[in-house]
Structure 1
Amino acid sequence: MQLTEEQLLAAYRRMREIREFDDRLHTENTMGDIPGFIHLYSGEEAVAVGVCENLTEKDYITSTHRGHGHCIAKGCDIHSMMLEIFGKDEGLCHGKGGSMHIADLNKGMLGANGIVGGGPPLAIGAALTAKTLKTGGIGLSFTGDGGSNQGMTFEALNMAVVLKLPVVFIFENNGFGEGTGHDYAVGSKDIAGRAAGFGLPAQKVDGTDFFAVYEAAHQAIERARRGEGPSVIETLTNRFYGHFEGDPGLVRSKEEIDDIKAHKDPLKIFREKVKDQIDAAKLDAIDAESQAKVDDAVAKARSARYPDVSQLLTDVYVSY
């Protein structure tokens, strides 16, 4: 698909902001000021952005414990996200969600999720709502290769087919469910092939290539909008860091990680593919702007106030 320069620059900006955001958290987390676990998305930017550039605010996504990239790709405010991760009152969830449960319903981001495989059932709920109310929107879930093995994921795939829901299931296969290899944990060795057995189209794409992800997502999302039902996309990708911040990362060698950063970096691949269309100086400017934006977000998050103790029990339970 041919994208305009404006679209390409917007996509690169999203990817660069995700990289700057999570690379900075990799450093900030060592300072001891961020509560809770953090799982970084660096290295997988082409998936979140390649998918979400096809979405609108009437579409809803669900995420995983590794959700910062999905949030930024869906349009969540970086300053409010940083405030949330630092546990501050002005954060997206008033400091109570933190990294693993960050959400912004106004942007169609139903939340990161600490429950492995917890997103697909929520996505089909959003899709059923869209179908019932005829909003023209869709539901979409991001799930890891570990979450692809969960029973509730299988149930969501089946129900999506039975009800012919406008939903797309994205499986981000970065090779490891925490420290367990995909080739060991997925009995069929093929997430997309297994998903196809539920009776919906499923394909596998290179998750380091924004353009491959964008095109596959565009086809699946437009299919859902036309009322033709659900689809699955398995993206083959890589995370630069360990499963979580503090993970010693013993499942991969330093040489393997260095090779991934050198040859499978989505931002480098993107820049190489658009070098004849876009002046490199424009991309460099986005790099600098993104870094400055993240620097500002960190500075403001550090100086912001924590929630007052009187708010301890607010937003904990829903009252009907």
Structure 2
Amino acid sequence: MKRLISHIKTEEIKKILLISHPNADPDAFCGLHALKLILNRILSNLEIEIFAEGLSSLSEQIAAELNIEISAEIQNFSPDLVILFDVNNVNNIGPISEQIKLDTKSIIIIDHHAAPPNIEDYSPLSVIDDNAISATEIIFDIFDQMDIQLTPEEAFLILLGMLYDSRHFILGSLRSFSIVPKLIESGADYSRAISILRIPMSRPEKIARIKAAQRLEILEIKDWIILTSHVSSYEASACRALLNLGADVVIVTAEKKNEVRISARSTTRFYEQTKIHLGKDIMEKLSSIINGVGGGHATAAGCNGTQNAKEANEQIIKILESLLQEINNNNQL
């Protein structure tokens, strides 16, 4: 980050656009705002805009609770620098991506998903750590290493993002647990954060989960239980629900006119025993099939595109079968 700060100063950057993925979740939304607050505080004469192609329902609740506004569109703003946050590829930020590619001189990525190929070619100053539980965790690390003390508001935003992406630290690591006391020392209110992140499940989301269960198909591959299903929306929520039924891997597809979204989840046990990374080994390989992009984490990943949902699902199963057969063959040697 010191190189980034130096880059901003030496290149006389005056306008920065902070941007994340569509339907920005609390890790993305809170991280964007925390990053804006910190950069505005440590660097003078900067004009910073935040943009995301829509917010999740929980992010909207947080925005209302904290009185935070985020741009729904970017007009008459030509940034000198774009920082992609909680997203590792400019193609994953929605329709604005083409404008960003054409108009932007410099792109920086801050993310906890696996780095895309050839990232050094177009974003040499990026900070990517796929061992981090959340993207907001990376923000803390960056400024902690620079000995920059967080304000209570900044610390609270980072705590919200970490709590959300770690599922209230069910997925926590020693590193993430060690950060929380420091955030509280900086003024973050842990009890309030827990309270804000509680939101009743909406009726449409409940129905999507039930329909996903009604439509599920069960496959057994090398003693692993694989579930597939389809819904019109809330595919990530449906994935989580089906995984809790006892599956090892779940694939849920949402398809509308000219839009295909596929969400995948696996258990930690599945990843630890097979080392199959849903983001790298599966979702990234679907880009050409769905005419879009895919990626994510070892146990949670997804892809977004415009076509061939059925073909993409068939390819996912083929990849899983091939990888699991290879693992089985190796174990017999």
Q: Which has the higher strand share?
A: 2
TM-score (norm 2): 0.28
Q: Which has the larger radius of gyration?
A: 2
